[in-house]
Amino acid sequence: MAHHAPRPPSTRSALADPVTAAPRPRWYRCTTALAALAAFAVVLAGGATAAHAEPTVAEIERQIDEDWNKLEPVIERHNATRQDLAARRKQADALAAQIGPLEKQVDQAMAGAEGPNSYDCSGLMLAAWAKAGVSLPHNAAQQRRATATVSRGELRPGDLVFYYSDLHHVGMYVGGGWVVHASRAGVPIKMKKVDDGPIHSYGRPG
């Protein structure tokens, strides 16, 4: 019987057989896991984007209506305030136009006079405000009761400044810390600093 030389061992199973293939390195397994997580995150992100879809035209219009309903009262209050300020400014301008000629007038102040040639203190206030369509009594104390109280910080042209505890004198504030007044009999109508005398209070006609 013939003898044959033994065959060399086969390497096929070690190279190609998946069952006996060498395990993957650890870094490869980590990379694969990270890739899977990244893919999952992309899927989640896509879902989130879909959940926040662009609003419809009806939704936009409804939101605009809601915002306007909140804003409209504010606009109306602003318009009312602006109109009120415009009316007050117009009244102040009318008073200023009347105060100018009175300041320049050289007529002497006379007790109990209310113009047009002579004035006492309350008569001057009466005449000036009458030009603006506002009636005042011919007495400083009565004018104080007939006018709304304002503070020093609220003073504006046309407001009345009352002097002395018994309210026997009144002048008209013309701005810049000055008043126009008829001081006493025999003295022309003139300007003076508002603090030139013991102030009792301030009043606003109208």
Q: Is residue 193 part of a domain?
A: yes
pLDDT digits (tens, 9 = 90+) for 138-147: 999 999 999 9
Q: Is residue 140 part of a domain?
A: yes
Can you tell me the distance from the alpha carbon of 130 to that of 91, in angstroms, rounded to the nearest whole number?
12
**pLDDT at residue number 136:** 95
**Residue 65 is encoded by which pair of tokens?**
């209506």
Question: Of 3, 52, 121, 168, which residue is the catalytic one?
Answer: 121
**pLDDT at residue number 58:** 81
Question: What's the structural domain count of the chain?
Answer: 1
Active site residue 121: yes
pLDDT digits (tens, 9 = 90+) for 110-134: 444 455 556 788 888 998 899 889 9
Q: Is residue 27 part of a domain?
A: no
Q: Is residue 93 part of a domain?
A: yes
**CATH code assigned at 135:** 3.90.1720.10
For residue 39, the 8-state DSSP code is: H
Q: Is residue 191 part of a domain?
A: yes
Cis peptide before 116 (omega within 30 of 0): yes
Q: Is residue 81 part of a domain?
A: no
Q: Is residue 129 part of a domain?
A: yes
pTM check: above 0.75: no
Domain hosting 175: range is 89-204
Question: Of 30, 78, 168, 181, which residue is the catalytic one?
Answer: 181
DSSP 67-123: HHHHHHHHHHHHHHHHHHHHHHHHHHHHHHHHHHHHHH--PBB-TT-BSSS-B-HHH
pLDDT digits (tens, 9 = 90+) for 30-51: 566 666 666 656 555 555 444 5
Cα 36 to Cα 41, 42, 50, 143, 176, distances in angstroms: 9, 10, 21, 90, 80
